[in-house]
Amino acid sequence: MNKSEAAWNEHRTTQISLVQQFDYYGKLAAQFPLAPLRVVYAKAGTQPAASIVRDKKSIAENLLYWCPIATEMKGQYLFAIINSETARKRIELYQARGQWGARHFDKVIFNLPIPRFDPKNETHAALSKAAAEAEEIAAAIELPAAVKFQRARGLLRTALTEAGVAKRIDDLVARLLDGQPVPEPAKPSPCAAPPR
């Protein structure tokens, strides 16, 4: 740390110390004490990427937004909405435009009319359950060694689409944002694969 501080002091163009730079606007200190459950999502990119962090050792760096959550269900509800294609499409008009189209999510995701999580609400509970299933599917995928994050996200999205959970989440998010109730689940076809 002493070498880092010396190099900073030698080359800095501001009066801010290295430690002050690390904690720019208090964004590092604000995370402490670390909550045991947090939703994090990337502020930039063309596809949203959110997850639940379940440890007290990780901190969010400057390209991540984070919020503490009280329960797994609430976290699953929130990260499912952020990761959904439905939400991505609906925030496009608020996003910056770049060479590859809409990008940077920052806080524009919260321009959507996302209601506070209510575990008694059928749509909220169904969305949380679908997100838990998506997590299980994603956790079971073996990613190639040294895979780049864009490719890894693509593999996960493909697996979730093939399992049908991505469409279910998108439909639930659309119903949530449009204020529609969850319809009764369809009876499985005799030809349908049994649930896992």
**pLDDT digit string (tens) for 27-63?**
888 888 999 999 999 888 778 889 999 988 888 888 8
Q: What angle do CA 42, 47, 50 make, to 5 degrees?
A: 40
Give the ranges where the chain is alpha helix by DSSP (H): 2-11, 18-22, 72-83, 85-91, 122-140, 149-162, 165-178
Q: Is the pLDDT of residue 118 over 70?
A: yes
- Confidence (pLDDT) at 22: 85
Strand partners, 42: 64
Percent of the chain with pLDDT over 70: 91
Place of tokens 């720019």: 24
